[in-house]
């Protein structure tokens, strides 16, 4: 059996038996690991390339088109990152992709942008749900919510129109500095590494 006590590693076998010294080691590793979060997210976004899912463009191009449109409209960096990553959950949460993207970005974005991300799937349905035998107006259950119009506008201006094979999107590398800035420090998190 391998010795679990290695230099630079915590030595506990259960969290209940951990010590402050263990958590200093773990926190130091977490600080370094968390600095690379934006790189890991961008790497995951690249998985969407060549996945058309039946659409006219692949999922990465859809994401780039959505972000490019928001960027060219002068939206702030947080909004542009939300536009870029709004469908990042497509591969991991096929049945709840909106919630996956929202969960990833929650520590880094405003409540307004988080709500938009979390609910954009239902709002996007306004444009196609009838073709699936669903109610196009399913989003109306949120009528009166303070972020209803904000989310409807995101879908109308940026998401639903971002399937154009002839649109000239910015490249992913153009968005990388923005993603790194927005994801550099959480606005809200229980962890204080």
- When comparing pLDDT for 125 and 2, which is higher? 125
User: CA quadruple 108, 109, 115, 120: dihedral positive or negative?
Assistant: negative
Domain presence at residue 162: yes
Residue 16 lies inside a defined structural domain of this protein: no
- Output 92 or 165, whichever has higher pLDDT: 165
CATH number for the domain harbouring residue 116: 1.10.3210.10
Helical H segments across 90-165, by residue range: 97-105, 111-124, 148-154
**What domain range includes position 91?**
38-182
pLDDT at residue 4 is higher than 70: no
What confidence category does residue 28 fall into, taking pLDDT thresholds of 50, 70 and 90? confident
Looking at the domain assignment, is residue 5 inside a domain?
no
pTM as predicted = 0.90
Q: Is residue 3 assigned to a domain? A: no
């Amino acid at each position: 059996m391998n010795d679990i006590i290695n230099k630079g590693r915590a030595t506990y076998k259960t969290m209940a038996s951990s010590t402050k010294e263990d958590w200093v080691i773990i926190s130091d590793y977490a600080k370094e690991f968390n600095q690379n979060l934006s790189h890991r997210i961008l790497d995951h976004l690249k998985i969407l390339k060549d996945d058309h899912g039946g659409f006219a463009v692949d999922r990465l191009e859809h994401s780039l088109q959505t972000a490019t449109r928001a960027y060219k409209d002068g939206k702030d960096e947080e909004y542009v990152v939300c536009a870029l990553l709004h469908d990042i959950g497509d591969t991991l949460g096929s049945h709840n992709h909106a919630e996956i993207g929202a969960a990833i970005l929650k520590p880094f974005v405003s409540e307004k942008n988080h709500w938009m991300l979390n609910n954009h799937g239902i709002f996007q349905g306004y444009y196609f749900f009838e073709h699936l035998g669903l109610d196009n107006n399913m989003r109306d259950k949120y009528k009166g919510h303070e972020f209803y119009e904000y989310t409807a506008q995101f879908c109308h201006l940026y998401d639903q129109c971002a399937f154009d094979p002839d649109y000239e999107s910015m490249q992913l590398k153009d968005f990388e500095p923005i993603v790194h800035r927005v994801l550099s420090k959480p606005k809200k998190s229980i962890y204080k590494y």
